Amino acid sequence: MRILFTFIGGSGHFRPLIPVARAAQAAGHTVAFAGAGGRGPEIAAAGFTAFATSEPRRRAEAAEAAEPAERRTVEPPDPEADVRHLAEGFARRGARRHASAVLERARAWKPDVLVRDEVDFGTAIAAESLAIPRATVLVLAAGGFLRREVVAEPLHELRSAYGLRPDPELAMLERHLVLSPFPPGFRDPRFPLPAHTFSFRPTAVGTAPRTPTVYFTLGTVNNTTDLFTRVLDPVTVTSEEVRTSVSAVLADVAYRSAAERVGEEINALPGPEQTIPLLEALH
């Protein structure tokens, strides 16, 4: 079986697909990835064939993106701007670009199944246009950010441009198969998972580190800011301050109980190899 994995955006959209892609390779299937032109080296470094869906960014843009973290500051949160970017950047401009690019690539490469990242709306359009079954890998863990009313207008316009029948409920967002690399308990209950979602554990069952370990992350949006340097600088923040801050959080019984429950839930999930029979069933 030939499986084309697609994503739009950066590493936060590519990496959740990797465990499924590697499991598909291990099962003997042919795998390739389609992503933005600048992501080719990252895809190749992970061991996959890469198809570019756009030209690499111009030098000036690339240089700005590579600016040292020390020169960048964390921008104040702007939820409304994030929603606008989802609607205009992903559901309108990005979806139009990927619908065209993936449609062309799929016609040439002839995949049996398409696997897209959750906000790669263009691939959903391309798959439906070519009647190729597809799976969606979630990249937004809590579920409250991607709301139908936010993306409805640009996606309805795009469906019309491709001659697809109206989809007032936007069932296209979760048609066929949904794969979630997150524990179900982490999902906001106000935004329940589709009934046909298969949750899996993207990595091997973990073991506790020998020494106390603190993981510090800002996600994939603010991953090149000076906040990392400031927090990890032993002059700015001492080990004792870290210990005190973390101990205060862990002292919250409700938080600790919830964290332990989520950890147990993660370890109980099936591994990514269990997603492959589901993809095979689509074909």
How many angstroms separate the CA atoms of 95 and 175, rounded? 17
- Residue 136's domain comprises 2-204+268-282
Q: Which amino acid is at 248?
A: A
Residue 151 has pLDDT above 70, yes or no: yes
Do residues 151 and 96 touch, judged by C-beta distance below 8 A? no
In a domain, residue 263? The reply is no
Region at 86 (left for phi over 0; alpha for psi -120 to 50; beta for the rest) = alpha
134-155 mean pLDDT: 95
In a domain, residue 249? The reply is no
In a domain, residue 235? The reply is no
Q: What is the pLDDT of residues 167-206, one digit of tens each?
A: 999 999 999 999 999 999 889 999 999 999 999 999 876 6
What's the number of domains the chain is made of? 1
Nearest 5°: the CA angle 129, 133, 134 is: 100
pTM: 0.88
In a domain, residue 258? The reply is no
Name residues whose C-beta falls within 8 Å of residue 198's C-beta, 6 or more positions apart in sequence. Answer: 177, 178, 179, 180, 274, 275, 278
In a domain, residue 237? The reply is no
* Burial class, 60, CB count within 10 angstroms (exposed 0-12 / middle 13-18 / buried 19+): exposed
In a domain, residue 49? The reply is yes
Name residues whose C-beta falls within 8 Å of residue 74's C-beta, 6 or more positions apart in sequence. Answer: 218, 222, 225, 226, 227
Confidence of residue 276 (pLDDT cuts 50, 70, 90): very high
What kind and span of H or E run contains 198?
Answer: strand 197-199
In a domain, residue 81? The reply is yes
Q: Which residue has the tokens 């064939």?
A: 49
Please, which residues bridge with residue 2 across strands? 30
Specify the CATH number for the domain of residue 152. 3.40.50.2000
Q: What is the pLDDT of residues 36-76, one digit of tens each?
A: 988 999 999 999 999 999 887 665 445 444 455 455 666 77
In a domain, residue 260? The reply is no
